[in-house]
Structure 1
């Protein structure tokens, strides 16, 4: 049975909150309006889930553009989403299938006048709950729209700075290497400059690192956001 719900357009993150809250099945996934699943996707997911370890929080599948590192090509591989990219070297987009009882514990924040929060805000939280079973199959294909999120990400972030600020502050609190903290602090400085230009409040996570990297963060802000 398929249920349909309608609400005022408040962006994808609020729509996902609605879908998560209304989900009545054991597994949850999100398919964008410009994407689609291959014919065998549902059967592959259900069959994989039957053989997952009890501690698994879901399944990590592939999109057609993904490049899989050899380390992830074993038959019974489990990983967090962030480790898949940062530790093992996965490239490209993925499809995420979560246990509904896990994802229902979390929500995207919402901000007046904004319609975008990076999806990794939610996925970073879920990473703390356990690991995903990796399914080395392409089950999800995309047909990006010219006005989609991917086409003009910098403009999207500048127009929704509070949502991105919430994400990058959380990401900094989760970073466990100096390299990650440096890169995210540069992004943090840049989005703080965007907030400052709009008269909005912002915060500093690592003051000493923030001061040290401020010139780089300001350059990043000028190159990516200032001219938009």
Structure 2
């Protein structure tokens, strides 16, 4: 019922942690689909080994280094299930994650649900973002709204059909497009149910990851960021955010021109 989709690049050191968390799932009715984005370490060998011994289906695809967004596009096109749970290769899931997602998807079968949203925690179980009032019932939220409300990264599960309808744009020479750009488009199609007090996803922020290298990432991928920021201006209700993203758009345009002559 679920595809756990993992784009990866040179994560030989952290993939075992994710694999072990998948092996520990209380419900193994899922496939693990991994797209290797041109790794130069032993990632490919490790993945092929997992494919032979895993207690669930494993599908491994390879692409020349093109960026996470391109890897996600490829992975979505190869998925064989109605739901996609995106899990990065340096992160992991709690043991009941797949079971919880399947139960929620079944419960919402008759609803206009295109996505499910869960909380992330660090590996020491500290919550990413802010704690909220305790409630077991999910709340419908748009991704931009959820990001502001929870003040931290969130774990998303989307209908495969919705992701197929909204692939990431690809810009020549660039390797990144902010994911929220596509999550918002999916949210325009239907409802995303946020389980604000349910942690399914454990993470860390590595030194070579996107989160800790925002400035250099922006300079290298101005068209991708410009696409996101320009669209985000109309989505924000707060004037401060509108001004912020307008200034970011101008910055991206400057980098686009600068990169043209470098």
**TM-score interval (norm. to shorter):** 0.7 to 0.9
Of 175, 187, 194, the match for 1:115:
175
Q: Give the structure 1 partner of residue 165 of structure 2.
A: 105
1:62 alignment partner, one of 97, 119, 134? 119
Q: 1:127 aligns with which of 187, 190, 195?
A: 187
More strand per residue = 2
Size of the alignment, in residue pairs?
197
Distance, in Å, in 1 between the alignment partners of 2:138 and 2:151 is 20
TM-score with structure 1 setting the length:
0.80
1:41 CA displacement: 0.6
2:151 matched residue in structure 1: 91
Distance in 1 between the 2:111 and 2:101 partners?
15
- The alpha-carbon distance between structure 1 residues 68 and 103, as it changes in their structure 2 partners (threshold 3 A), is farther
> Does the 8 A contact of 2:176 with 2:224 survive in 1?
yes
Partner SS state of residue 211, structure 2? coil
CA RMSD of aligned residues (A): 1.9
Q: Could you tell me how far apart the structure 2 residues matched to 1:91 and 1:13 are? A: 23
1:44 aligns with 2:100: yes
Q: Secondary structure at the match of 2:244?
A: helix
Match of 2:27 in 1: none
Moved more, 187-196 or 31-40: 187-196
Partner of 1:79: 141
User: How many Å separate the matches in 1 of 2:61 and 2:99?
Assistant: 25
- Supply the distance in 1 between the matched residues of 2:199 and 2:219 (Cα, whole angstroms): 33
Q: Which of 216, 223, 235 is equivalent to 1:174?
A: 235
| Equivalent-residue separation in structure 1 for 2:114 and 2:131 (angstroms) | 21
Q: What SS does the corresponding residue of 2:117 show, helix, strand or coil?
A: strand
Q: Give structure 2 stretches of 5+ with no counterpart.
A: 1-56, 122-127
Q: Which position in structure 1 is the counterpart of 2:59?
A: 3
